[in-house]
Structure 1
Amino acid sequence: MIKQFLPLLALLVLALPLWGAGLPTYYISTTSQEVQLISSQEGKLLVVSTTETGQQTLSGFQLSVNEAGQGQVLYLAKDKKILLEKLIISPLPTFEPVTLYSGFEPITNQLLVTTEGAVYFQAGAFNYLMVKPTWSQGYSQPRMLSGNLKPQKIYRQDNLWFYVPIEATNESRAIFFPNPPPPIISSLKQSGFSLEASIILPYRADQRVTLQSDSLSTAEAVVTSLSQEAIIILTLPTKEGEYFFQARTDDGFTQSPLSAIKTWAVDKTPPKIILASTSREVSSLESFSLEVAVNEPGTLTVNGTTKEVVDKQAWLIKLRAGINLITIEAKDYSKNSAQISKEVIYSPLANNFVFQKPAKNYWVKPGATLLVQAKLLTPPLWLTDESEGSIYCNQQLLAEPAIFDLSTNEASALIKLPDNLPEGENTIRLLFHSQSGSLEGTTSFFIDKSSPKLASQTVFTNQTKSLSLNLTDAGSGVDPTALLFTLKGTTLESITTTETGTLTLNLKYPLSAGSYEANLVARDKSGNIGPATKLVVVVDQLPPKITLATYESEVYTDKLTLQGTLEELSLAALKVTVNNRFLTQSKPGQSFQQTIQLDPGKNLVSILATDQAGNTTEIKFSVTANFSAAGVLVNDCSNGPNPFSPANGETTYITYNLAATPVTIRAMIFDLNGVMVWQKQLAASSSGALSWNGFDHFGQLVDRGVYPYLMEFTSGSAREIKRGKIAVN
């Protein structure tokens, strides 16, 4: 509350009572020579300053209470020499000056400051408003207001600003500011469990930047007018998947629209390391070549040496005599890591043996008979013809000896494998020794205990002369030559395809649409035979039928809800894309409802249904999303000539063709910093044109460059915005 008194001696006293326990009442006393700030509670003079301080003249003192309940003084300071005028606010009781605005246009004494952090003033022929955003300690840059605004009160409600004019004490009017363009999310970068977003701002100003996602909490950052980029860091979710992000800005006056969507896939699955050789082997060479492959790009570290890798990489490792343990670690670009180790035994004599059998990646059943055959490149003199050696399987000594044939320099043995060997990789060790020395070599083979498995006992196909079976075998692989498949009492011939685990059966006679009973017996390459399995074969060549509910071809929001039904019992997937951007893949069902995110302007939507037989149906249509339009007031709005040269006397025109009349039109032209340089308002208008000669509010010719403009059309409760750009040469 501000009270004004006019006692004798032309003394002006302003009193600001601050209610509450222990809060003083402040008084400002001004004469033509001095300014006094007095605390009535303490009964003493706190500040004494003259109105003529050096080159400055102080005037227009106003007391108010800020949003924190503290006293503050708003006043003007005019430099008498260079005629620079400043608007200054000082908190109480320190009276430290903070300059809010400075310029050469005269500032009138018609000042207004509110408890919600708004400061209104007039400079020259124009009105200005500055606000103190809730997220900032300081004030915003001044915004120029349109019209002959004479407020007695300014307040904020639901993030909008309103004023009460002097002539209408019970009427509140909104203060409109043009929305700035949306920011741009230039990059997303993952670091550990955090995601760093770099956001390019549309203009330089003190503003708050907010980053939001479809499933993560909102994060924000406050930037100053010195920066046009914001960095925001979010904690990544624990669930893998694709997430979308959007950003918007807030300068205390208005909020920008949401930015374009930026997506990021969260990956927490470690990479897979694939060795070209077995995890244990013997080398006769001191330099050992190691080849490692990974299933996704990243880095590979082998014994402390790191290399970038796309799919595979090779290392040359120097071995020491005996056992060498090689540690291999893979990291993808999401910082997921996996680690394995490989054991290499370096023995120059031991690995003169070159194993010919068992072959590399050889699979057998437990208890099978295995031929071991190895050639010795340079046999020592003590190794004679028909010398006997020992055979070890996983450190277990076998009964069968190995016999060396001097004529061929080969050692061989026919061994029966133990029944209790573990599934997977096992080792064979060949050893010859005498008092003169010893020779040994190691190789590996694989044990397969499992028979092939059929993924599903119902097989769908849309082919009439062939049938694909999804058979998997964790070990040696399916043997297509031993597959027994009967359909309608006829055994079918099978051939392998390029797809792992899939076999294609050639049908002697074509099948018509329908269901058929079949029998399958499968065997793998190690001889494991699976049980006889009954299955159903469904021949289906009818594509799924999609019935889509009615939708609008033009919407005024950024979302669209799709509803429909599917006439397909064996649906495999329903995939929805917008502008070739994959959005969602729904689970099978007879009906669907999906809300999709739209981009501004024209959106190409695709709905693709696939059944289990491989038949597909796709519906494509377009939806135009007009985020800002709330009605149809204007058919067309454009400008020309563009570019134009006001320095050469040229004028540009903004023409508009209205769909409804009468319409109130407000035209605003801005520079690239978001500052309004020119505006004009027309009431009860019809189709026509506005002209601009390239001069700003101050009568100054604008600089060369690009000037965005905004045309606001209103009629009753309907409001429509059109935007464009003017190039000045």
Structure 2
Amino acid sequence: MRLKLGLISIILLVGGAFASPRITTDLSGNILQSWLDGKSIKTARSLDLGSSFSQPESLGISAEAYDLTSDPSALKYYLVFQTSREVFLSIGNNLNFSQTRLLARDGESPKIITSGGTLFSAWKKNDTLYLASSSDQGETWLEPELIPATGEAIGDFALASSGDNNCDLVFTAMSRSRYSLYFYRRENKSLVKITNGFDPITLAMIAPGPFGPLILWQQRYLDRSESFAIVSIDGGSSFSPIIKLELPEQPARLSWDGEKWRSTAFGKGSPPLAVSSLVLFPAPAQNSGVFQATTVNSSLEILTMAKPDQSIWTLEISPDQDFFPPRTIFSHKIVPAGANKQIFPLPGNLQDGNYWARVTVNDGQTSTLVNSSASFSLDRTPPIITILTSRETIDNTYQLQGKVNEPGILSIDGQKLAVHSSGTFEARLSLKPGANSFILTTTDEAGNIAKNTLTINYTLPTTLQLKLVKPAPTDWLKPGSIVYCELLVTDPRSEVEDESEAEVKINGKLLNETLYYEKSEQKLSGLITIPDQISDGIAALTIKLPAMEKQLDIKIDSTPPTLTTTGGATVFGNTPFAVPLPLSDGGSGLDPAGTIVMINGISCETYSSGEALTARLAFPLSDGTFEVTTRPRDLVGNISPQMSFLYCLDTIDPSLAIAATPEVTERQTIVVNGTVSDKNLLTVVITRNGKEVHSFFPNQSFSKEVPILPGNNTIVVEGRDKAGNLSSQTISFSSAVHASGALLSDVGNAPNPFSPRLDGQTYFICRLAPGISLPADIRIHIFNLTGELIWKKEFIGSGANVFAWDGRDHFGSLAANGVYLYTIGIFSWGRNESMRGKLIIYQ
């Protein structure tokens, strides 16, 4: 009886035995599981990410070992298998393998991968590894390469794509009870020993990452299996220290999902087996703290928190904070451990303007986005100097006038010049007969330098010339005032006799005074009286000598300052020690020293603040209304009659109260009820998450409806009075969705299939479920069939449900032909939901 039961048990064990389970993807991106049932290769598909599988199907091929992969761009499957000691390749569509050819007459445990447009297959033979490649989809193969021999017994091995039609390989070896793990780079034929010890190495795996491979292996220690990994961020040239992993199941497949490494493992039982996905490395804490971006010449200096390990910084530069991939420029740099600053060269074709920058840090284990972005301005355009005066003169002194188009430092022949806020500048230059050259150098705030050579041709005059020196062109003159007048005389033919007199006219009216000529000084000078009856503005000054007559311009100011308030309007303020004076002057400007101010009969000192005047008090005022009297004067002596106005000092903030609101709401709007009071109230402003939604002139109470966004909302209510005093109240709460109802009804994209070159863009459509309305947070992720994330985009608070993609990955390259998976997720009213779809790309 025992023998019979034992026999039955043995029969069941043999009949149900399976080996060599594999996980790959089919041509449509579904999970494809395969295994050996005895010597029969069987497969099953999963349409729900591995939770359930179709009924097993046999490939009709008998094998002792095998490997299976797919190439969506070629719409083909590739199967290598071992029968006896021979290795065969079979190529098929839809898992119907009709083409079979011999790869090796003596080999075992074959493996196969695709890398770009190249196939790679490896197998063992007498403790030697052979690697063969085909660049024409398996039609012809190059002579197999021998992996450098180590003189040890070869155990497990694995292949992985390394990009650029190349591959990497890891294998285990044993010699004299010591076990080793090796890494082979086909690109440079290098062989590196990763580890060596007495614990048996039972599993070796390798997978391509964004910047280099991940290698995982398992060692048997006593009665347990331990998992270890190393990762590279420089294409396999160097690796991280060994990382010990805690894996509940033996991994069957490794993949990078765009942010982190994942291990896919089989469940227990009979095939097809359920599969589960596990994150290999825990995500680090979100990087907070400083993040700055500063332009330095043609580069961008990035400053952020230092990282303890070597990492790769991916810099994204975008014209806005959306970082939409078609408009975003990507740059990568390997950063040594402990560094917190890096210089990234900026693309030469990047136009001047304002940009946003952010950095993603990848230490090989995870990819972490620095949780802030920084704005910067790019300015590689040198400043422009414009000369406003003629470059020809007959005077031996030259009054240079010019303008620069942006702030900076200006010098002429090394001597610094003052630049006005308007960008204009002046300089008096001494000239010699002929061409006079001067070097103007200006450096803008971005460090761009412009150098201009200014050539002034000084031609000795051949005729009599007069040049007004005093009053200067910027001087204002008061009617009735006595003014010193001086002109420079150039008289090459001695037409003017010494001590000659010149008549003076202003606006055609002959003055009583004359000017006298001093030949030795070449100067015509004297005192003149400006007529009492003359209009404000530009007046004509005429100088008449026996040999010539010259007309020049002077500026007249006869109008005293005035009050800017009208109709007895009150001036408000909230500073007890200073009173702003509502005065203006359209001519020479206000004179603080000559302006008299009294507040309630007490004199005050007056000082200039820009173009305005302010009265400074020796004692603080109390809140209330005060009479201010003033007799303002301008800079040429025009004095106004005594004027007065009312000044109201108000230092009390408005009284503002807001009704209580719920911490969580299911509504899409919230009503803000409140009261505000102030004897001088001006306005109330309501903002939501920093954006103004209401601004109004309230009565004592108010009620305003405010639309709210999914997630956290911060509403700030501000009351401001006429004196500038401010009170504010903040309301913070979260929105929550109703308990029932889905968020999405369907997702899709069109056109599909999609050609980036012919169609330009495909459009993802997100159809919302009934009762759900925008705005919402929308997230789109696109994966290739290996599970690698090639593009993602987040639309926070989006008011749209159609989004375009131009077929380019995160690095700006067009995606290859093939099938891609995408997920569209929505976050609204406190709930997340996502749907997936498939996209076919052809060029």
User: Structure 1 length as normaliser, TM-score?
Assistant: 0.52
How is 1:292-441 mapped onto 2 (pairs within 5 angstroms)? 298-302=408-412, 305=414, 318-321=430-433, 330-334=442-446, 358=471, 361-364=474-477, 371-374=483-486, 387-389=500-502, 391=504, 402-404=514-516, 411-414=526-529
Inter-partner Cα distance in structure 2 for 1:460 and 1:506 = 16
**Aligned equivalents of 1:266 and 1:551: distance in 2?**
45
1:127 correspondence with 2:221? no
| Residue pair 2:90, 2:100 contacting (<8 A) in 1 also | yes
Distance 1:482 1:194 in 2: 54
- Aligned-residue sequence identity (percent) comes to 16
Aligned to 1:446: 555
Closer/same/farther in 2, CA of residues 541 and 415 from structure 1, 3 Å limit: closer
Matched, 1:147 2:284: no
- In structure 2, the residue matched to 1:472 is 584
**Which residue identity is paired with 1:128?**
F
Whether 2:179 is the aligned partner of 1:179: answer no
Alpha-carbon distance in 1 for matches of 2:577, 2:35: 98
Instruction: Give the alignment of 1:110-125 within 5 angstroms.
Output: 110-113=203-206, 119-122=215-218
Asked if structure 2 preserves the Cα contact closer than 8 Å seen for 1:300 and 1:328, the reply is yes
Contact kept, 8 Å, 1:478 with 1:525, in 2: the verdict is yes
Q: Distance in 2 between matches of 1:14 and 1:59?
A: 17
Letter of the 1:461 partner, please give it. Answer: F
Change (3 A) 1:64 1:444: same
User: Which of 370, 375, 378 is 1:258 aligned to?
Assistant: 370
Residue type at the aligned position of 1:108: I
Answer whether contact 2:560 2:633 (CA < 8 A) is retained.
Answer: yes
**Deviation, structure 1 residue 45:** 7.5
Q: Do the aligned residues in 2 keep the contact of 1:88 with 1:97 (CA within 8 Å)?
A: no
433, 436, 461: which is aligned to 2:572? 461
Q: Is residue 612 of structure 2 the alignment partner of residue 502 of structure 1?
A: yes
C-alpha spacing 1:293/1:534, structure 2 compared with 1 (3 Å): same
Give distance in 1, aligned partners of 2:295 and 2:204: 50
2:683/2:696 contact within 8 Å kept: no
Displacement of 1:414: 4.4
Change (3 A) 1:90 1:456: farther
**2:329 maps to 1:224:** no
Conservation of the 8 A alpha-carbon contact between 1:465 and 1:506:
yes
Distance 1:297 1:503, change over 3 A: closer
What is the CA distance between 1:543 and its match in structure 2? 1.9
Distance change in 2, residues 1:57/1:315 (3 Å): farther
* Amino acid across the alignment from 2:218: Q
- Shifted more, 288-297 versus 181-190: the winner is 288-297
Q: What is aligned with 1:103?
A: 195
Q: In 2 relative to 1, CA 97–244 (structure 1 residues): closer, same or farther, beyond 3 Å?
A: closer
Deviation at 1:223, TM superposition (A): 2.4
CA distance in 2, matches of 1:267, 1:471: 40
Q: What one-letter code is carried by the residue in structure 2 that aligns with 1:145?
A: K
Higher relative contact order (CA 8 A, sep 6+): 2
Q: Which amino acid aligns with 1:411?
A: G
Query: In 2, distance between residues paired with 1:525 and 1:311?
Result: 20
- Counterpart-to-counterpart distance in 2, 1:611 and 1:272: 45
TM-score by length of 2: 0.46
Q: 2:807 maps to what in 1?
A: none
* Deviation, structure 1 residue 163: 3.1
**1:178 and 1:330 mapped to 2: Cα distance?**
50
Contact conserved, 2:399 with 2:427, CA < 8 A, in 1? yes
Quote the residue 2:307 is aligned against. 202
Equivalent position of 2:321 in the other structure: 215
Distance in 2 between the 1:459 and 1:237 partners? 51
Contact 1:182 1:257 in 2 (8 A): yes
Matched-pair contact (CA < 8 Å) for 2:408–2:443: yes
Note the C-alpha offset of 1:476. 0.9
1:397 and 1:504 mapped to 2: Cα distance?
41
Q: Is the 8 A contact 1:268 1:334 kept in 2?
A: yes
Partner of 2:361: 249
Displacement of 1:110 after TM fit?
A: 1.1
Question: Partner amino acid for 2:194?
Answer: S
SS in 1 for 2:516: strand
The 1:376/1:299 distance shift into structure 2, 3 A limit, reads: closer
Kindly state the Cα deviation for residue 102 of structure 1 after the two structures are TM-superposed: 2.0
Give the letter aligned to residue 46 of structure 1: E
User: What letter is aligned with 2:154?
Assistant: S
Query: Is the contact made by 1:212 and 1:247 (CA closer than 8 Å) also made in structure 2?
Result: no
Cα gap change, 1:65/1:519 in structure 2, threshold over 3 Å: closer, same or farther? same
How far does residue 9 in structure 1 lie from its aligned partner after superposition?
Answer: 12
Distance 1:297 1:9, change over 3 A: closer
Shift of 1:334: 3.2
Larger deviation: 283-292 or 566-575?
283-292
Residue 163 of structure 1: aligned partner: 263
Counterpart of 2:814 in structure 1 is: none
Task: Please give the per-residue CA displacement for 1:509-559, whole angstroms capped at 9, x wherever unaligned.
Answer: x9985799x999988667999999999865544323455898999xxxxxx
Report if the CA contact (8 A) 1:181-1:202 is conserved. Answer: no
Q: What does 1:562-573 align with in structure 2 at a 5 Å threshold?
A: 570=681
- Structure 1 residue 300, shift from structure 2 partner: 0.9
Q: Confirm or deny that 1:32 pairs with 2:138.
A: no
1:88 aligned to 183, 187, 198, which one?
A: 183
Distance 1:269 1:49 in 2: 57
Q: Is the 8 A contact 1:77 1:88 kept in 2?
A: no
Alpha-carbon distance, 1:159 to partner: 3.0
1:220–1:592 CA distance, 2 compared to 1 (3 A): farther
Question: 2:321 corresponds to which letter in structure 1?
Answer: S
The match for 1:59 among 154, 160, 171 is 154
Structure 1 residues 402-444: Cα deviation after superposition (integer angstroms, max 9, x where no partner):
34399x99534446699899x57x896867677xxx9x99997
Q: Cα 1:194–1:520, aligned 2, differ >3 Å: closer, same or farther?
A: farther
Letter paired with 2:183: I
Distance 1:140 1:208, change over 3 A: farther
User: SS where residue 224 of structure 1 aligns?
Assistant: strand
Contact 2:291 2:372 in 1 (8 A): no
- Contact 2:291–2:305 under 8 Å retained in 1: yes
Q: Structure 1: how far apart are the matches of 2:150 and 2:595?
A: 104
Amino acid at match of 2:243: M
Distance between the aligned counterparts of 2:466 and 2:395, measured in 1?
12
Structure 2 vs 1, CA of residues 468 and 353 (structure 1 numbering), >3 Å: closer, same or farther?
Answer: same
Name 2:758's counterpart in structure 1: none
Q: Which amino acid in the other structure matches residue 571 of structure 2?
A: F
- Deviation string 1:258-312 (CA, Å, 9 cap, x unpaired) is 2677675889999999x9xx989xx99989999999999842132x547598999
- 1:512 touches 1:539 (CA, 8 Å); kept in 2? yes
Question: C-alpha separation between the residues in 2 aligned to 1:505 and 1:97?
Answer: 84
Deviation at 1:245, TM superposition (A): 5.9
Partner of 1:47: 144
Flag the 1:334–1:404 CA change in 2: closer, same or farther, 3 A.
Answer: same
- Following the alignment from structure 2 to structure 1, what is the Cα–Cα distance between the partners of residues 563 and 244? 75
Amino acid at match of 1:254: T
Find the partner of 1:190 among 288, 295, 301: 295
- Secondary structure in structure 2 of the residue aligned to 1:104: strand
The gaps in structure 1 that reach 5 residues or longer are 554-561, 577-582, 596-605, 621-729
Query: Per-residue deviation at 1:249?
Result: 0.6
Q: State the AA in 2 paired with 1:32.
A: N
Structure 1 residue 108: Cα displacement: 1.7
> What CA distance in whole angstroms lies between the structure 2 residues aligned with 1:480 and 1:37?
91
Displacement of 1:179 after TM fit?
A: 1.5
Change (3 A) 1:431 1:259: farther
Task: Give the conservation status (yes or no) of the 8 Å contact 2:180–2:201.
Answer: no
